[in-house]
A and B are shown apart, each in its own frame.
Chain A
């Protein structure tokens, strides 16, 4: 069916054109992601990619076995982190393999460069995989359209620009490729493709935590097909080997381990596995037993099976209900119940990517595709086959999950491109067929008209011969007149609803194709604009425009990390909010307390408590963690709105979640966090406030006498004369965006320390008392009093 539609003449030329178009699509997919490399430099973006870069560098230097066994002591001090067991290794292994191949060919590319360009290469691969998947379901035309759409769709570009070295860059390719192999197995029923499907699923499990989408979507599809009565051998071969091999392979990945059989995310696959075997058994019995025996067997199975299933369900419900989250992980549960994270896990709720999307997110990320998706779904319904049902389910499920979390718009992107590609390609089929029929018929009719004119000419000649006979002349005249009436009108002179060639008339098809091309032009325009303006920002480097149009670059982050790298001892510990942990370990090469992995809520809460406490308590907390340097991000000088004061509410909430003496109302004035004169005294005394605004008033003296105007909060700060007694400022970057402080040391002699020690031991003060003059001497070494 698919092949009939791809062309009347399925010659080699069509295959060559198809391959060439696909090559152009892959080149477009690669090129549209290079804006940030062109605008700035070949640099890794954001936060998470820096950790992936560091692991890739370790892998390139020491090999894969060292990476499996790596225990990283330079992060989450003093806990450390088991890298081998907590990282999805697919991305690093992929980039490492490409680096190794290139280097063994003596193309000595640095691992950093390979990492920057991994995502664009794999997005080109994803376009090709989307072509294969859509071709399996609906034919070559739909395949090419879907591939062209996914090469440029902004939602996918946002997570796979050059420099965004993150799991999603290769995971989306793995996702589409796994789905392609699944549909191929459904269509062919061959065990070879089923094995390939399991191996592709293994690659997906290695790459991204979102593999649970596959292991839940395929069972849902399988269940829908079984309930619709479509059980067949192909279905069995597509599902059963995939589940067995796939689960075994997934359990081989250290990050997943026994989660593959114990968590609720995998539960659906096992359940549908059992259901599939029940259907298989029923089909087998129907084939082999005579009708009477079949009835008895059915009755027996139903009764025994009902009792057994009830007992099993009871046991299962008991097991699942024993876990407070019903066996689901926190992130998965927040997908099913979007209100969960806000109530119980503030860290998940604080990440901006985990918020639900608004309608402009959909339009910005998918543009005209959201208008085309219903047409694609309708095209999949007519006719409804097992693969097209899979596409419909994929679309519906991914639309729901993307509605729960903005980050998952990425999983919707391939489904949207495939369905929109199918819808668009159906329309283009109608137009193209009508054009073809219209042209062919026009040619035929012109040829036929030529023959009729010749006949009439011959008639005219014979008329003159018989002009003498009046009777014959009258008869001839009558014959000629009747012949004129019976001359058929050309098809393009008839009203369009009576024409019988293509579905719609030729002119309408021409207009339709022109308009469809115009629509695609606007889509590409939008995609290129979104890629250039919205999604190519490396957050490590910021840019703004001067009034004369030139760009001003803010490179403060790298300046600060470079300072740390060159001016501190190699084993010093640096504390900051968890957002900057990965960048600090990768670029500054110093040990950090907390980083973006956020696996230990209590440790993060400790840092949050320190940031929200007064200076002395904060000093003690940091000293207990062996920290020597603390840095904060401050945006008030230049107007950078993503600074630590803006994130302060999360420090209070997360800290307050673990340490009850941190109470959020202490920092709020009339329900909002304020730093101006209306701020609470707890806020004005906390470490974050002091470290952010130390010397700020002196540095921002305005001509009219005001000072300390915070450009982000748009107000003057409340406390301008800040003195630090336990910290000293060691470095502030050019635009004041990163401010590094050092903890002052404990002085050698402390006032009252001997009295305190004596009290603690319990011995009378008299015997240990020094002469009065000595004990009363004030100890002010370093200005610290303890």
Chain B
């Protein structure tokens, strides 16, 4: 028997306990899908350089002067420097990278034979295109940041 019951019994000689319907809440572990979704979201934020954004507080987008008109023009990528970024630039690059990761999961879903034909075709097309597209975009973004990418200096 629960020892606290014996401790509290004298109290209830003159107190009337209310009629409650209390239940111990059932704590269960989150499902694998939930955990994976959380992992993917946190991965997106870290890859986008969120900690850099919080500490160095760069502007959301940069501005340069248009050489022809002299007006201020917003620009997304901070060109030439690897150790600095704008916030939007980080988020868009992170999106491309996570898109690449998710495309592989779509390709895996396309290999599952229990789905119908159209579903499988759809996953296959989306996965293949998504992976190719995200890789190309990531390389394009990197060429903004590192002008001499894949150029041998010797």
Q: Chain B residues near A430 (CB, 8 Å)?
A: 111
A338 with B55, Cβ < 8 A, contacts A358-B85, A371-B97, A371-B135 known: yes
Task: Categorize the interface residue count of chain A.
Answer: 35 or more
Question: In chain A, what residue has the closest Cβ to B46?
Answer: A403
Among A399, A423, A497, which residue has the most Cβ atoms of chain B within 10 A?
A497
Contact mask for chain A residues 207-233; partner B; CB cutoff 8 A; 1 contact, 0 none: 000000000000000000001100000
Whether A403 contacts B90 in the complex (CB less than 8 A), given A39-B154, A352-B83, A361-B83, comes out as no
Pairwise interchain contact A404-B2, C-beta atoms closer than 8 A:
no
Chain B minimum-CB-distance residue to A299: B2
A504: nearest chain-B partner, CB-CB: B111
Do B42 and A529 have beta carbons less than 8 Å apart? no
Quick check: B46 and A400 within 8 Å, CB to CB?
yes
- Which of the listed residues A339, A377, A495 has the most CB atoms from chain B within 10 Å of its own CB? A377
Of B9-17, B59-67, B68-76, B144-152, the segment with at least 4 beta carbons within 8 Å of chain A is: B144-152
A228 touches B135 (CB 8 A): no
Q: How far is the CA of A370 from the CA of B121 in the complex (A)?
A: 26
Chain A contact residues: helix, strand, loop or mixed: helix
- CB-defined contacts of B126 to chain A, threshold 8 Å: none
Q: State whether A356 and B101 are in contact (beta carbons under 8 Å apart), knowing that A373-B43, A396-B39 are contacts in the complex.
A: no
Is A551 in the interface zone, CB < 8 Å from B?
A: yes
Residue of A nearest to B120 (CB): A497
A290 within 8 Å of B by Cβ? no
- B3–A396 touching, CB < 8 Å: no
Instruction: Contacts A364-B82, A377-B39 given; indicate if A503 touches B100 (C-beta within 8 A).
Output: no
Smallest CB separation, B88 vs chain A (Å): 11
Which residues does chain B contribute within 8 Å of A445, judged by CB atoms?
Answer: none
Q: Hey, which chain A residues are within 8 Å of B142, CB to CB?
A: 360, 363-364
Total cross-chain contacts (CB, 8 A): 146
A359→B49 contact, CB < 8 A: yes
Residue pair B46, A399 in contact (C-beta under 8 Å): yes
Q: How far is the CB of B90 from chain A (nearest CB, A)?
A: 5
- Residue of B29, B42, B117, B138 touching A228 (CB-CB under 8 A): B29
Q: Which residues in A have their C-beta under 8 angstroms from that of B134?
A: 371
Q: Interface 1/0s, chain A 455-475, versus B by CB < 8 A?
A: 000000000000000000000
Distance, CA A381 to CA B105, complexed state (A): 12
Would you list which residues of chain A between 268 and 301 have a CB under 8 Å from chain B? 296, 299-300
Q: Is the CB of A359 within 8 A of B55?
A: no
Contact string against B for A residues 363-400, beta-carbon threshold 8 Å, 1 for contact and 0 otherwise: 11000101111110110010010000000100010011
Which single member of A227, A352, A384, A545 contacts B153 (CB below 8 Å)?
A545
A300 in contact with B3 given A374-B105, A377-B39, A529-B152 (CB within 8 Å): yes
Chain A neighbourhood of B54, CB < 8 A: 338-339
CB-defined interface of A466-504 with B at 8 Å, one 1/0 digit per residue?
A: 000000000000000000000000000001010000011
- A404-B51, A427-B107, A533-B153 known; A360 and B145 CB under 8 Å? yes
Shortest C-beta distance, A205 to chain B (Å), equals: 28
Contacts of A184 in B (CB 8 A): none
Q: Which residues of A contact B100 (CB under 8 A)?
A: 371
In the complex, whether A637 has a CB less than 8 A from a CB of chain B is: no
Judge if A104 is at the interface, Cβ distance under 8 Å.
no
Say yes or no for A736: interface residue by CB 8 A criterion: no
Interfacial residues of chain B within 1-49, with CB under 8 A of chain A in the complex: 1-4, 29, 32, 35-36, 39-40, 42-43, 46-49
Pick the contact of A355: B29, B52, B89, B152 (CB < 8 A): B52
- Asked if A378 contacts B51 (CB within 8 A), the reply is no
Top 5 A-B residue pairs of the complex, sorted by shortest distance between their CB atoms: A374-B101, A371-B100, A403-B46, A375-B104, A356-B51
Sample (12) of A-B pairs whose CB atoms are under 8 Å apart: A359-B48, A362-B47, A363-B138, A364-B142, A371-B104, A374-B105, A377-B39, A399-B43, A403-B46, A403-B50, A403-B51, A430-B111
Please list the residues of chain B having a beta carbon within 8 angstroms of any beta carbon in chain A.
1-4, 29, 32, 35-36, 39-40, 42-43, 46-52, 54-56, 82-85, 89-90, 93-94, 97-98, 100-102, 104-105, 107-108, 110-113, 117, 120-121, 131, 134-135, 138, 141-142, 145-146, 148-150, 152-154
Binding site for B on A (CB under 8 A): 39, 227-228, 296, 299-300, 303, 338-339, 342, 352, 355-364, 368, 370-375, 377-378, 381, 384, 392, 396, 399-400, 402-404, 423, 426-427, 430, 495, 497, 503-504, 519, 525-526, 529, 532-533, 545, 551
